[in-house]
Amino acid sequence: MTRIDAADVHRCLRELGDLRYAAGNLQQALRRIVDATHRLFSVDGAGLMLVDPDLLLRNVAVSDERANTLEELQIEHGEGPCVDAFERKDLVDSADLTSERRWPDFSPVAVQRGVLAVMACPIPYNQQAIGVVAVFSATRRPWTPEGELALVAFTDLAALLIANTMASQERGELADQLQRALDARIILEQAKGMLMASEGLSDVEAFERMRRQARAERRRVAEVAAEVIEGARSRDPTPSG
């Protein structure tokens, strides 16, 4: 296992220093971060995912096609290290998916696809998580505290880059897509709160109910969420005057 030290991290961050003030091509800039993360960790792959309007994590930059496995399987099963990192707003890792019990549906299939170890860190934005940066290995790999700090550093750089781009007048297509996702998230959070209050569901259960309905009806989760809000308001209209 390649050891990561502070000097390596500082060198990589210096090479990416121009991104701290950038607001240009977001897609290319995020790809640079992913490539640097891949090299530093000497892993089999790295990827950066951003949330879409249905609160699903989608790859926007990957160093290896196997990273698409992380997206595909976690969307299919609704669980996994990237999902947990995103929802809990905290770093999540697994050194050996063959013995992992947290994600019973995701883990065995990921192993079959050649992913045995994963570490994922959420990308913060305005007190929310808007995506994750993840690294993965095709062999069992114990993640070190130094590695965790390094991944947080790259994630924070991605967060700063995204924030600068979102504040720019010329944001580009990817940033516009992210803004639509942030707008949709407001609706989803309102709908989840209403389902939690009216039916006693948990946060996860409320979201899963809307997602299942959206899948069954081939619609976007945001559309289902808007109907939940409208239905709740029609049953309990706000008194006038």
Identify the pLDDT of residue 24. 63
Domain count, the chain: 2
Q: Quick one: which H or E segment has residue 125?
A: strand 117-125
Q: Is pLDDT at 132 greater than 90 in this prediction?
A: yes
Dist CA 231 CA 4 (whole Å): 53
In the block, tokens 């707003």 appear at 89
For position 202, which CATH number holds?
A: 1.10.10.10
pLDDT of residue 237: 59
Host H or E run for residue 67: helix 67-77
Per-residue pLDDT tens over the stretch 136-187: 999 999 999 999 999 999 999 999 988 888 877 666 778 788 888 888 888 8
Do 30 and 105 share a structural domain? Answer: yes
Please tell me whether residues 221 and 123 are part of one structural domain.
Answer: no
Same domain, 159 and 196: no
What is the Cα–Cα distance from 220 to 85, expressed in whole angstroms? 23
Which domain-ending residue is among 166, 193, 218?
A: 166
Q: Is residue 1 a part of any domain in this protein?
A: no
- Number of other residues whose CB lies within 10 A of the CB of residue 57: 26
Q: Is residue 241 in some structural domain?
A: no
- 75 & 133 share domain: yes
Both 145 and 212 in one domain: the answer is: no
- Is there a domain that residue 240 lies in? no
Domain match, 24 and 120 both: yes
**Domain finish residue from 141, 166, 191:** 166
Which among 174, 164, 84 is positioned nearest to 121, based on CA atoms? 84
| Residue span of the structural domain in which 103 resides | 6-166
| Per-residue pLDDT reduced to its tens digit, 30-58 | 999 999 999 999 899 999 999 987 778 99
Contacts of 112 (CB under 8 A, 6+ apart): none
pLDDT above 80 (res 130): yes
